[in-house]
Amino acid sequence: MSKYHKGSKIFVTEVVIKVMDLNRAVEFYKSIMGFKVLRKKEKKVVMTVDGINPIVTLIRPDDIVPKEHRRTGLYHFAILLPTRKDLGKFIKNIREKGYPIVGGSNHGVSEALYLQDPEDNGIEVYADTPDRNWERTLIGVKMITEPMDYRGLIELAGDDVWQGAPDGTILGHMHLHVSNLDESLNFYSALGFKLVQAMMDQAYFVSTGGYHHHIGFNIWNGKGAPPPPEDSAGMKYFTLKFPDEDTRKEKINNLKEQGYVMIEKNNKLFTRDPSKNLIKLIV
Ligand SMILES: [Fe+2]
């Protein structure tokens, strides 16, 4: 398990997505992402890697409407594989199945492949490089964007076959469309995150414990972009996990002091960032 996703860190664990076609989505998350079904109801399928914890939950609301462009919401959620070799196996599998890849990059801190699920939700699948090789900067960690070494990754996989997401696969980070970078930074700072990199006033990356980022947010859908309608297809919420109840309380108080509102539903606590991205706060 990544040291940046346990202990005293605050990190993401799960994403819930509203989909138009539940069966098609489940098939994709099984055959391409390699997840397993943990629980299944008529309009809700919880998917897992370890057989215990949800990683992606797919729901089919009755009143769902198609996704609109130029809105805040999900840019991508990012699935962190345990090793570089696992990423090689993932690439071999997706190529063999003929599923389209949108792009791939070497970010220095990680190697990352990008794709869209059948309903155009962005997904990154990545492996971190050893953190002793990360270039630390005054504020955080340097990330670059260079071509991905597909050949090296596939060679590393060798004759090994992808047999689903391996043990230790987790939700590594979230990347969101927001309407205002600095407002978003204030909000995520109140939750305990630190700015690690700012990309030319286009995107900010924040983390806890020195990770390259647990959350990224950008204004690529336009400064001041409106939130999606409540019933829109796309992300419903993602989950942030706190190390203990005291820390969660402290961060919730920070948010309340800044005028943010907590939403309680079925004994679960949620809040919305300034761009209306819904977040579940768990311990
Ligand atoms: Fe990302």
Q: What is the pLDDT of residues 54-109, one digit of tens each?
A: 999 999 999 999 999 999 999 999 999 999 999 999 999 999 999 999 999 999 99
Tell me what pLDDT residue 162 has: 97
Domains of the chain: 3-282 (3.10.180.10)
What's the chain look like in SS3? CCHHHCCCCCEEEEEEEECCCHHHHHHHHHHCCCCEEEEEECCEEEEECCCCCEEEEEECCCCCECCCCCCCEEEEEEEEECCHHHHHHHHHHHHHHCCCCCEEEECCCEEEEEEECCCCCEEEEEEECCHHHCCECCCCECCCCEECCHHHHHHHHCCCCCCCCCCCCEEEEEEEECCCHHHHHHHHHHCCCEEEEEECCCEEEEECCCCCCCEEEECCCCCCCCCCCCCECEEEEEEEECCCHHHHHHHHHHHHHCCCCEEEECCEEEEECCCCCEEEEEC
Output the CA 115–ligand 1 centroid distance in Å.
11
Q: From its phi and psi, is residue 187 left (phi > 0), alpha (psi between -120 and 50) or beta?
A: alpha
Q: How far is the CA of 126 from the centre of ligand 1 (A)?
A: 8
pLDDT at 181: 98
Give Cα separations from 212 to 75, 132, 143 (angstroms): 17, 12, 8
Q: How many angstroms does the Cα of residue 28 sit away from the middle of ligand 1?
A: 20
81 C-alpha to ligand 1 centroid (Å): 13
Kindly give the distance from the C-alpha atom of residue 129 to the centroid of ligand 1, in angstroms, as a whole number.
14
Ligand 1 center–CA 232 separation, angstroms: 22
CA of 216 to the centre of ligand 1 (A): 7
Q: How far is the CA of 146 from the centre of ligand 1 (A)?
A: 14
What does the mean pLDDT of the chain come to?
97
Q: What is the pLDDT of residue 189?
A: 98
Q: What dihedral angle (degrees, nearest 10) is formed by the CA atoms of 11, 26, 95, 34?
A: 50
**1 pLDDT above the threshold of 80:** no
Query: 277 pLDDT exceeds 90?
Result: yes
Rounded to whole angstroms, the Cα distance separating 188 from 207 reads 9
| Interstrand relation of 122-128 and 73-81 (parallel, antiparallel or unpaired) | parallel
Q: Which residues surround ligand 1, an ion (CB under 5 A)?
A: 78, 124, 175
What pLDDT does 131 receive?
A: 96
pLDDT tens digits for 9-60?
999 999 999 999 999 999 999 999 999 999 999 999 999 999 999 999 999 9
Q: How far is the CA of 195 from the centre of ligand 1 (A)?
A: 15
User: How much is the average pLDDT of 157-185?
Assistant: 98
Tell how far the Cα of 62 is from the centroid of ligand 1, in angstroms: 31
pTM comes to 0.98
Round to whole Å and give the CA distance between 60 and 57: 10
Query: For residue range 215-263, what is the model confidence (pLDDT) as tens digits?
Result: 999 999 999 999 999 999 999 999 999 999 999 999 999 999 999 999 9
User: Rounded CA gap, 201 and 199, in Å?
Assistant: 6
For ligand 1, the distance from its centroid to the CA atom of residue 204, given in whole angstroms, is 11
* pLDDT value at 165 more than 80: yes
Q: How far is the CA of 63 from the centre of ligand 1 (A)?
A: 30
Does 188 score more than 80 pLDDT?
yes
Torsion of CA 203, 206, 211, 215, to 10 degrees: -80
Q: Scan for tokens 């689903």, then name that residue.
A: 164
The pLDDT, as a whole number, for residue 200 is 82
